[in-house]
């Protein structure tokens, strides 16, 4: 699941302001669906943080970190 929204830039606030509290619920809501279908889930908030530039996207280093976490999870599934 995506990490929660951080401090939004002025531009991002035009579209995403007011959604910060909802973004905190993303993992639990995604997890309910994943559990229903026995699909593994990763809470990306445990590993990465959104950019301080816009409060929404990941910086390149965080993208790399998340990619490694996801690849480790997929490889551990032996599929």
With vertex at residue 64, the alpha carbon angle to CA 61 and CA 70, rounded to the nearest 5 degrees, is: 145
Check residue 72 and give its pLDDT.
Answer: 96
The pLDDT assigned to 79 comes to 82
Q: How far, in Å, CA of 77 to CA of 1, rounded?
A: 18
Backbone angles phi, psi at 20, to 5 degrees: -60, -45
pLDDT at 63: 98
Per run of 10 residues, the mean pLDDT along the chain (length 79 residues) is 95 93 95 97 97 96 98 92
- What does the angle CA 14 – CA 19 – CA 22 come to, to the nearest 5 degrees? 170
Yes or no: say if 1 and 42 are a contact pair by the CB < 8 Å rule.
yes
Q: How high is the pLDDT of residue 29? A: 97
Predicted pLDDT at 78: 85
Is this structure's pTM higher than 0.95? no
């Amino acid at each position: 699941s995506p990490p929660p929204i951080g401090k939004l830039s002025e531009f991002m606030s035009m579209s995403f302001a007011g959604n910060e509290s909802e973004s905190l619920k993303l993992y639990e809501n995604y997890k309910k669906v994943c559990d229903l279908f026995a699909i593994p889930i990763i809470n990306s908030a445990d590993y990465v943080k959104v950019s301080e530039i816009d409060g929404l996207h990941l910086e390149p280093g965080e993208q790399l970190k998340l990619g490694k976490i996801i690849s480790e999870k997929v490889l551990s599934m032996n599929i």
